[in-house]
Amino acid sequence: MKTIFLPRKTLCLCAVLACAAVCGALLTRVKPQETVHAMIPAAVREKVELFEHSPLNKKIFAVVRADTAEKAAKAATALRQELTDANLVRAPFTPRPDFALELFYALPPRFTEQDALASKQILSPEYVSQKMRENYEHLLSMEGLLLKPLIAADPLGLTGMMTYKLAALGAGTGLDFKDGFLSSSDGKTLIALYDGTGEDSFKRAEDFSRRFNAIAARLGDNIQAFYLGGLRYTAENISVIRADLWRVTILALAALAAVFFIFLRRKSALLIYLLPFVILPPAALVTYAVFGEISGITLGFGSVVAGLSADYSIYLFFALQKGQRSAQETVRLLKKHLLCNFMTSALCFAALFCSSIELFKQIAVFSVTGLTCALLLALYVFPPFWTNTDEAVSVPVFPVSPLPKKWAVGAACAALVFGAWGVTHTNFSGDIEDLNSTSAAFKTQKAIFDEAFSQAANDNALVFVKGSSVENALENNEHASAFFPAPLAAGGVVPSAKQRAENAGRWKAFWTANRTQYARLLIEEESAKLGLNPSAFAPFWQQLKNPAPDAFDFTQIYNPAVQLSNGAFAVVNVVPNTAEYEASAKRAGAVFVSGAGLKKELLAGVRGEAVKIVFLSIVFNFLAVLLVFRNARETLLCFIPVVLAGGFTFGCFWAFGVKVNLFVLVFLPLLTGLGIDYGIFQVMKFRSAKGDRIIYPPAALWTAAFSTLAGFGVLAFAKHGVLFIMGLSSFLGICGAILAAQFVLPALLENKKCVR
């Protein structure tokens, strides 16, 4: 097979660069997106999304901590005032003095069957006597100033039914709520919940952070004030990713420069360093075209693709240097190897594409596009530039000797044991929190927050009932309510229009003329005994006969309806976090989400994805390499660097106490791809005719490994948890793979007499 290079090499290179520049220019118009959803396995994505729609999730939590409860209360009140005045938050709901009266007038459209039953029971001479005496006692107390209108409108205390419904919304949270603040048991930590006043953009997050901190600084000495919530995560995460991109890019460039001066040392080899600039813009554009968005993490993965993509050119460069053959002849000899390498890498990314994690799909498309470009450049554009003998510079020779057979087997066994121990003892985390990157100050503040809130979070769960519209979701919620040990609280306060009409009808049907007359008799009898004026209860009789319109907007206290990303709606209910409620939700077709349960499911989902991806990448690669070599032994030997590198990496995770997040998943198929590449390199070398082995110098393998480390391993210096774990994994994995390929595999290849 004759390889035809593109004619007019310089012109061709200029065209390639121009294409890359156009792609780069277009890329500047693309805004990277960051959502946690893209990082979550599909099986739990819905629950994560629903969890994010919990009533508290969209809130801004303003936390104030002081050395005394009094100071905390004063500071929290001042902070609330300033935040509201500065229009940073919406003014929180504060009940007016006539709030109880508003609750009473809101009862008829919320008058359930249970309320009707309870009302029947209270229409007894004993109850009315006791209630009227209580009313009288209240009227004579100072609280009577507040209670007088309510007593006149509701002498029987029916408002209690509404307060019960409201209380049920936060039932079991166990939180002390005072003066609009959630309070720790000692009162020194107060938390206020606010709604923001704008979009959750990075710009707004930065602006909010700056202005909040300025206000917090004015609150006084010994008073700590901070905020948490989505806005804070946005500010923390994106600033970390931005800083990381700069740090990683600078480090990668420095490392690549070192690789150049140590291994390549030829002007024309600089073409290899053009690769990132040439292949990454089109790769990013293709990814954006496929998904309609691109994540910052996918772009961060560019350094990985750059490292991987350089390998084809590096192998060709060294082959041309060492082989003393024409470019066409060298490419012909190496083509099979390069295609095999490309195929294994592409198949690893194909396995990643099979994952249900959206971000992994992006990374797969991004990487395969980049690698395709790199391969085409290596085969058809670069070789003519590397045959110029005038440029010859001494390339270092690496006299690498493989380990003796016994040592190699011993090292392999040690790596396997180390890895097995590491896999079973490494600290795997399925916590979404670990996908966020936050400052040390944030972590300290979060601990303060958790101290006050963690119990409430553990004791409660959320039940989501979905619908095509708010009304539909409310109706479905009402149907689902029947499956639970107690009615779902949201429906009690915010019923559907249909339910409101039904409840109002029930109210009218209940307060018949006879029953009203009976109530009147009881009240008048007790009024006469106590010295109350019976005509003062006129508002009550009016409400029984002709209920006032349902005017109070309860959603200003609690809005149970949320809109999901797919346009559907869900009603959120806070319920006790028990197995009984979980089973009820399942029967009702509702979604039960608890914080602890979600973590477990996420971890299980991540493990499932990991097994699937690794399994697929191994199967794909095994079949592909077998197809190329048509030799099971050699195919299996290609996996030696993969297995040993995996063992080495997980052993190191355990040994250094690394907390591994779900993004180690990205690394696993990559490790398979890289390790197999090194294995293929060595097997190809041993399969080659003796004279052709020269085109597989150890320096090529080392250079490929170091350039990948330079591009990829530098991610270990990133602060972002996701980039860090990907970088560290690859650093350890590449080190393990190259060591196994250079020192262990050759010994085993000789042993198996693979040399031809």
Partner 1 sequence: MKKLLFALLFLVSAVLWAQQPPAQINGPYAQEIISRFGAVETLQSKFTQEKHLTLLAEPVPSKGTFAFSKKGARLRWEYTEPFQNGFLMDGDKTYRLEKGVKKEVKGVMSHHVASQMLVWLTFDLKTLAETYDISFFEGGVTLTPKNNDNRLLDKITVWFAKDNPQALSEIRLDENGGDYTLLKFSDTQINQPLPKDAFL
Interaction site with partner 1 (CB under 8 A): 69-70, 73, 95-98, 137, 139-146, 148, 151-152, 176-180, 187, 527, 531-533, 536
70 vs 580 by CB, closer to partner 1: 70
Rounded CA separation 252/667 (Å):
18
Min separation Cβ 577 and partner 1, Å: 24
Q: Which residues pair with 571 in a beta bridge?
A: 465, 561
Q: DSSP string of 163-216?
A: HHHHHHHTTT---EEETTEEE-TTSSEEEEEE-BSS---HHHHHHHHHHHHHHH
Sheet holding 189-194, edge to edge: 176-178, 181-183, 189-194, 60-65, 224-228
Nearer to partner 1, 142 or 551 (CB): 142
Instruction: Give the whole-angstrom CA distance, residue 390 versus residue 388.
Output: 5
Between 374 and 532, name the residue whose CB sits nearer to partner 1.
532
Between residues 141 and 439, which has the closer beta carbon with respect to partner 1? 141
CB of 660 to partner 1, least distance (A): 45
Q: Tell me whether residue 151 or residue 684 sits nearer to partner 1 (CB atom).
A: 151
725/713 Cα distance (integer angstroms): 10
Beta bridge partners of 593: 462
What is the greatest pairwise CA distance in the chain? 120
* Cβ proximity to partner 1, 144 vs 595, nearer residue: 144
Three-class SS of residue 600?
helix
Complex with partner 1: residue 143 or 450, whichever CB lies closer: 143
Closest CA to 721 of 300, 356, 368, 324: 300
Q: Which tokens belong to 487?
A: 């009615």
Tell me the closest approach of the beta carbon of residue 539 to partner 1, in angstroms: 11
Q: How far is the CB of 457 from partner 1 (least distance, A)?
A: 21
For residues 188 and 685, which CB has a smaller minimum distance to partner 1 in the complex? 188
Residue 170 tokens, joined? 């936060």
Distance in Å, CB of 45 to partner 1, minimum = 40
Tokens representing 279 are 């292949």
Find, among 750, 651, 753, 755, the residue nearest to 407 by Cα: 750
DSSP summary character for residue 488: -
Tell me the closest approach of the beta carbon of residue 578 to partner 1, in angstroms. 26
Closest to partner 1 by CB, 134 or 580: 134
Residue placing its CB nearer to partner 1 in the complex, 95 or 505: 95
Nearest to 195 by CA among 53, 57, 59, 56: 59
- Type of residue at 94: T
Token pair, residue 715, equals: 């991610």
Region of 644 on the Ramachandran plot (φ > 0 left; ψ -120 to 50 alpha; else beta): alpha
* Cβ(654)–Cβ(425) below 8 Å: yes
Smaller CB separation from partner 1, 98 or 525: 98
In the complex, least distance from residue 99 CB atom to partner 1, rounded to whole angstroms: 8
Q: How far is the CB of 556 from partner 1 (least distance, A)?
A: 16
In angstroms, what is the minimal distance from the CB of 63 to partner 1?
18
Residue 300 has which token pair? Answer: 């961060």
Least distance from partner 1 to the Cβ atom of residue 139, Å: 6
Amino acid of residue 662: L
CB of 422 to partner 1, least distance (A): 52
Radius of gyration of the chain (CA): 35
d(CA 456, CA 182): 11
